[in-house]
Amino acid sequence: MRLLPVILALWPLPALADPPLTAEGFEAHVLGKTVTYSRLGSIFGIEEYLDNRQVRWSVAPNLCQYGTWYPQDDDICFVYEDDPTPHCWTFWLKDGALQAMPADDDGSGFELVESDITTQGLACPGPDVGV
């Protein structure tokens, strides 16, 4: 019976999931940077993280939405100028890169991965520029 604790201590345990990033941890990773997010190997979108939790989001060249982010429980929520509905995500780091899952994940496995991070900003011309 004395061997049971020793055997249990040596038994391989499943890998623990990485904890969600706090707002401070998220901000430390993204502030002043532009992150490209991919899903299943294809670019999903690019977001630039500015001061005061301001963001620029782009899914197409020269087309940007402006918004803000804020913490809510273990999630980071985004609200954009043309859509007041919060879009909340759980973020964590895996091998130093952001991973994100929608807070309202339905089990579909919809996961975004940081595929690039740079200090270069997004090209976001004003409305009707070049038309």
The model's pLDDT over 30-47, given as tens digits with 9 standing for 90+, comes to 999 999 999 999 999 999
pLDDT of res. 126: 63
Distance of CA 3 to the CA centre of its chain: 45
pLDDT at 108 over 80: no
Rama region for 32: left / alpha / beta (φ>0; ψ in -120 to 50; rest)? left
State the pTM of this model. 0.80
How far is Cα 39 from Cα 49, in angstroms, rounded to an integer?
20
53-102 pLDDT, tens digit per residue, is: 999 999 988 889 999 999 999 999 999 998 989 999 999 999 999 999 99
What backbone torsions phi and psi does residue 113 show, to the nearest 5 degrees?
A: -130, 135
The answer to whether 72 and 1 have CB atoms below 8 angstroms apart is no
How far is Cα 116 from Cα 46, in angstroms, rounded to an integer?
9
How is residue 42 written in tokens? 């294809």
